[in-house]
Amino acid sequence: MQECTVQHRVQTRIPTALGDFSLHLYLECGTGKEHMAFTFGSWGPDDPVLVRLHSECFTGDVLGSLRCDCGDQLHAALAEIARAGAGALVYLRQEGRGIGLEEKLKAYNLQDEGLDTVDANLALGHSADSRDYAPGAAIIRDLGINVVRLLTNNPAKLDGLGDHGVRVVERIPLEMPVHDHNRDYLKAKMQRMNHMIHLPPVMA
């Protein structure tokens, strides 16, 4: 018997400016944490499906914070999925690369004192990235997606999905504009976490 990773609880229609999406709510077994999938269109079992694996970022996704590129990536990914005619955005409740909102806000304060996004997490006793991609992989499989075209700049997501049995056949970059507020954050992700980001030469 296969071990439970997530349970699909409910699905509903969400009309948006981009078209009608379906919102799926999942519960992570063991933790009870709620994750979501926002899907558009339909696909067959052998179709390569456009997928964004997005980690929750309250400050960027909801408040429009310019400290990161998360909110921009969220909206750009949804636009790409709608443009493709089919796809899924899997929204994992793993705030602050898995450390939670309170600790992320503490990390922001440390960044204002001069630490980068990696060292701030480490100074608080966390790893640089504490996310678990098993729930995301389970959601992708539950949606009937067997072949993935992944919207990401993060090689850890490619490895994480692959480690949990999801076949990724293409990586599609999702690079956002660089400005004074997110420059150091993006630079740290590129230099210290191997994100595939192309910064202007003076910033890199």
| Number of residues that this document lists for the chain | 204
Q: Closest Cα partner for 119 from 21, 31, 49, 185?
A: 185
CA–CA distance, 118 with 72 (Å, rounded to integer): 21
CA–CA distance, 197 with 204 (Å, rounded to integer): 10
Starting at the earlier edge strand, list the strands of the sheet with 147-151: 6-16, 19-28, 34-40, 87-92, 48-55, 147-151, 167-172
Q: Which residues are annotated as catalytic? A: 129, 131
